A and B are shown apart, each in its own frame.
Chain A
Amino acid sequence: MDIGDAGKPDAGRRRDFAPWNDPAARALVRFKGVTKRFSGITAVDDVSLDIHTREFFALLGPSGCGKTTLLRLLAGFETPDAGRILLDGEDLADMPPHRRPVNMMFQSYALFPHLSVAGNVAFGLKQEGLVREEISARVAEMLALVRLDGMGSRKPYQLSGGQRQRVALARALVKRPKVFLLDEPLAALDKKLRQDTQFELMELQEKLDVTFVIVTHDQEEAMTVADRIAVMDHGRLVQVATPPEIYEQPNSRWVAQFVGDVNLIEGRVVASTPGEMLIEAKAGGRLKVASVSGLSAGDAVCIALRPEKLRIEPVKAGSRGGDNSFEGKVWDIGYLGDVSIYKVRLDNGLVMQAAVANMTRMVERPIGWNDRVTLTFAPQAGVVLTR
């Protein structure tokens, strides 16, 4: 917990950090079958979830999916209708918010307008009854950490949005919580500042060795900062996994579509051999993908293909479509600078998206509107979804 000496942990430790795979590891926060209803609407529906010490955990989902409610249940602002929440093995049911060793950063920051920056940061420490010297030392240390030294006597209304955000950060972290909760912490910042702050948050988390739980609707933000992401929809956990797993192995159509762009091709298993599986697309055409256990011929499946995993080429005269190769016509092109998005209307009627990194300066487009193109992908690129 010592801020000064902890330093930056070596990269190796972070790379190997995966306590959720260790059956012997004891979770710091445990949600056990937690349900919360608001006048008939189930905001959180039977959620069971473990969050481990020093983890940077993200709750991701569209607005109204229950992620903020889950956070507020942990902070103690809501009480569950069913289920239990444990922190460090202790049931939080009878612990009011002001006794819980967790601190929250509010989306609105909720800075006290009548107190100075230093007064805001010191507020929580005063409640602990610490001596004045220790309070002022810890406040100064924290303000330096969030790069607000010398701002202690300002009032919140005299600060910029980014500065206010850092006061809110300092005010919660100075309490040295066991779990630090962040409710959409960067939503009010502009994009560039948001990206910088994401990296600052990660650095801060490593320095302080505190468990962070962040609520966000921004999948990029979740992917950037989090060790693990819980994707939520309609109060339920849909998938809990690391960012690469969420992106590369989404467990349902919904997750695949919510996290990043994706092409979904509905079809049916024609043949399954160990190694490869042949899928007949509903719209016509055959796809070869890496096989998945538990599926046999005739099962309905959906193949998810990320746009950047598709290869797009002008149709060569004389070549004919082989496996995982579709012909079509370019329907729209979106130039984003680093990548270009090609929307291609296939001959079987499907519209597919392909993303191509613009590795050389684009002076003349090799592929233009209405060109005939071939889309191909490797069998490993397709993800077989059954949900």
Chain B
Amino acid sequence: MREAMQGKGISGGRLAIAIPYLWLLAFFLAPFLIVLRISLSQSVIAQPPYSPVFEIVAGWEGLKAFVAALSFENYATLFSDSLYVSSYLKSLEVAVVATAMLLALGFPIAYAMAQAPRRLQAVLVVLVILPFWTAFLIRIYAWINILQREGLLNEMLLALGLVREPLAWLATDTAIYIGVVYSYLPFMVLPIYASLEKIDHNLLEAAADLGCPHWKAFWLVTLPLALPGVAAGALLCFIPIMGEFVIPDLLGGSQSLMIGQTLWTEFFGNKDWPIASAVAVVLLMLLVVPIAIYQHMQTRDPRAGSA
């Protein structure tokens, strides 16, 4: 009787575990394989706009011909054409610099939130999330308004006498950074706040008790314990910024494109699905690296950060 019950329990448990796997299989792995397969094709003017196309009626011979027609040519193009390489580098640059800026800005905000009185903390968390109440696109359009030549920013700078004549903000890297940092700040602040907030206050008293002044306890106790939150926040910002399209497209210039813009151009502008797919696959591979590092950190010390 008991064994029967246990057997049932295990199969129920397996089902529960299977659901996320099935989900990933259907909505991540299958589309990825389709993209991978398109990236190995050649662009043609047809419907669909790539070749070869495998048809089940062609049978075994058809499959062999199909596999033989696949090639890595697009990947070779990707690495030989400086347009793509410079796009990847541009994305990397923006993602690295913006993540660093987000850290420099987000950590103090999260720290101040965690230090605030308990009651105020809930309000502050809501304030951080508040921008999400407005659609993302509208907020970016609002920035166009602020950053344009006769915009709020220039008017303010003129009024304060900081500049003599209006500066060009739009269509510059500065505008991209402003947009990215503004948009991703909550994703940096919230995980750091969550890890700071759960640090036992007794630990800081213990550090003081053992002869450690306040500023030093921050480096020796607070920061190491907040590290999981910092890593999570950095990853949550770095990865989507790498593939960011909307912000550089609306706020940035046309002189150097981020990889998201290049991808969009290939796909919708040039109708070159295979090369666009190759761009996407390489981007994915690049993003696996930081995730693997994070995973490694997590498994090495599973309880780091919890009391």
Residues of A within 8 A of B (CB): 75-77, 96-99, 102-104, 106, 108, 110-114, 123-124, 127-128, 155, 157, 171-172, 175
Contacts and interface: CB of A to CB of B under 8 A. Distances in A.
Most buried by B among A76, A97, A104, A175: A97
Contacts of A106: 202, 205-206
Nearest to B212: A127
B93 to A, nearest CB: 33
B200 A108 contact: yes
B225 A113 contact: yes
A114 B301 CA distance: 9
16 contacts: A75-B205, A75-B209, A77-B205, A96-B208, A97-B208, A97-B209, A98-B210, A99-B211, A108-B307, A114-B225, A128-B211, A155-B303, A157-B306, A171-B210, A175-B210, A175-B211
B157 interface: no
Interface of B is mostly: helix
Interface string B190-212: 00000000001011011111111
Contacts of B200: 108, 110
Nearest 3 CB-CB pairings of A with B:
A124-B210, A127-B211, A110-B202
Nearest to B204: A110
Nearest to B302: A157
Interface string B281-307: 000000000000000000001011111
A75 B202 CA distance: 13
A91 B225 CA distance: 35
Nearest to A128: B211
Contacts of A114: 224-225, 301, 304-305
A102 B210 CA distance: 9
B221 interface: yes
B213 interface: yes
B212 to A, nearest CB: 5
Contacts of A102: 209
Contacts, number: 74
Contact of B207 (A75, A76, A123, A155): A123
A112 B303 contact: no
A102 B211 CA distance: 10
A172 B213 CA distance: 16
Most buried by A among B211, B220, B303, B305: B211
A34 B227 CA distance: 41
B176 to A, nearest CB: 36
B202 to A, nearest CB: 4
A123 B212 CA distance: 9
Most buried by B among A99, A127, A157: A127
Contacts of A155: 301, 303
A110 B203 contact: yes
Interface string B207-231: 1111111101000110011000000
B203 to A, nearest CB: 5
Most buried by A among B200, B208, B210: B210
B106 to A, nearest CB: 21
A179 to B, nearest CB: 12
A98 B212 contact: yes
B212 A113 contact: no
A114 B220 CA distance: 10
A157 B211 contact: no
Given A77-B205, A98-B208, A172-B210, 14 more contacts: A76-B208, A96-B213, A97-B209, A98-B213, A102-B209, A108-B307, A110-B203, A112-B221, A113-B307, A123-B210, A127-B210, A127-B211, A155-B303, A171-B210
Contacts of A112: 203, 206-207, 221
A111 B221 CA distance: 11
Contacts of B221: 112
B206 A110 contact: yes
Given A77-B205, A108-B202, A113 B304 contact: yes
B305 A113 contact: yes
Nearest to A108: B202
A290 B212 CA distance: 57
Contact of A98 (B203, B209, B224, B301): B209
Nearest to A155: B303
A113 B206 CA distance: 12
A157 B303 contact: yes
Interface string B54-78: 0000000000000000000000000
Contacts of A77: 205, 208
Contacts of B220: 123
Contacts of B213: 96, 98
A81 to B, nearest CB: 20
A111 B306 CA distance: 11
A329 B168 CA distance: 100
Contacts of A99: 211
A113 B209 contact: no
A122 to B, nearest CB: 10
A48 B306 CA distance: 40
B209 A104 contact: yes
Contacts of B306: 113, 157
B203 A124 contact: no
Nearest to B202: A110
Interface string B157-178: 0000000000000000000000
A113 B210 contact: no
A98 B216 CA distance: 11
Nearest to A158: B303
Contacts of A76: 208
A183 B303 CA distance: 26
Nearest to B213: A98
A96 B304 CA distance: 29
Contacts of A124: 210-212
